[in-house]
Amino acid sequence: MIILRQRLGDIVACFPAARLLSQAGNTVDFCCFPQYHAIFNTVSYCRPVGLEALSRRKDYDQVYDLEITRREYDAYRASGIKWRDYVYGKYAELAPAKDEPPHFDRRLAVDGYQLPERYALACPVGISQVTRVNQEWFEKQCRSLSQDPWYVLSDKAGGSRWGTPLHARSLDHLPGLIAGASTFVTINSSPNIIAAGVRTAWHQVYEPGFGGQDNYAAPGQIVLHQPPGLARQSWRFWVHYWRRRLMGIDVSKDSSRK
């Protein structure tokens, strides 16, 4: 059993670990909150289980706890180690899967969205997360990359200040929607990690917080760097900045105005 209870991007980033264990002949249960279970419809090599499985640890031959707990969070941040290196480094047998993209081996096509034959897709905010990027700058970058009609991805029904809102009705629709776009631009969030498994090229806005420690890099990813002055307008930037500073980490590069 793999334990990683929440954060869609983290869960998807650990699909390669589940696949590696499955290829070794294991039946792999993945313990997470029920709201993430739909994404498992896109893979055949692991199955979601609820938190009740935590009380049955003894029933499993091996348990891989891949969460970064609150007790170890500060140590993780202070280490400066990239997220995947840190998480996959917890268990030596998982290391071979660290740099593998998520593998979606079930149907990716999605129906009922009435999308044009060619559409460009943007993800300026995270799934269930708040804005991390200056929206005016993000829109300008998108408009410069494609003349196809732009759709703005969200996991919630609602409006958009630009582009046509595209509400993903279920998490298992995300890989198909992202794969089908002529151009895809995203922040460093779960859609960025999903893109690594379904696209050969896409654009991602670099995550400056914590020195890029959480940034998910993958082949085919074209990185866009938000101007530092705009990045500092984000509350997320300052949360990261002050937490790093209080931890005694060098923040001179984070606060640079160059």
pLDDT in tens, 210-244: 566 777 889 999 999 887 766 555 555 566 565 65
Q: What is the pLDDT of residue 192?
A: 92
Mean pLDDT computed over 155-161:
53
Which whole number is the average pLDDT over 244-251?
Answer: 61
pLDDT for the residue 22 = 98
Mean pLDDT across the chain, nearest whole number? 85
- pLDDT band with cut points at 50, 70 and 90 for residue 256: very low
Is the model's pLDDT at 18 over the cut of 90?
A: yes
pLDDT band at 112 (very low <50, low <70, confident <90, very high): confident
In percent, how much of the chain has pLDDT > 70?
80
Mean pLDDT of 94-106: 95
DSSP-assigned states of every residue in the chain: -EE--S-HHHHHHTHHHHHHHHHTT---EEE--GGGGGGGGG-SS-EEE-GGGGGGGGGSS--EE----HHHHHHHHHHT--HHHHHHTTSGGGGGGTTPPP---S-----SS---SS-EEEE-B-TT--B-S-HHHHHHHHHHH--SPEEEEESS----SSSEEEE-SSGGGHHHHHHH-SEEEE-SSHHHHHHHHH-S-EEEE---GGGGTT----TTEEEE---HHHHTTSHHHHHHHHHHHHTT---TTTT---
Using one digit for the tens of pLDDT, what is the confidence trace for 79-98? Answer: 888 999 999 999 999 999 99
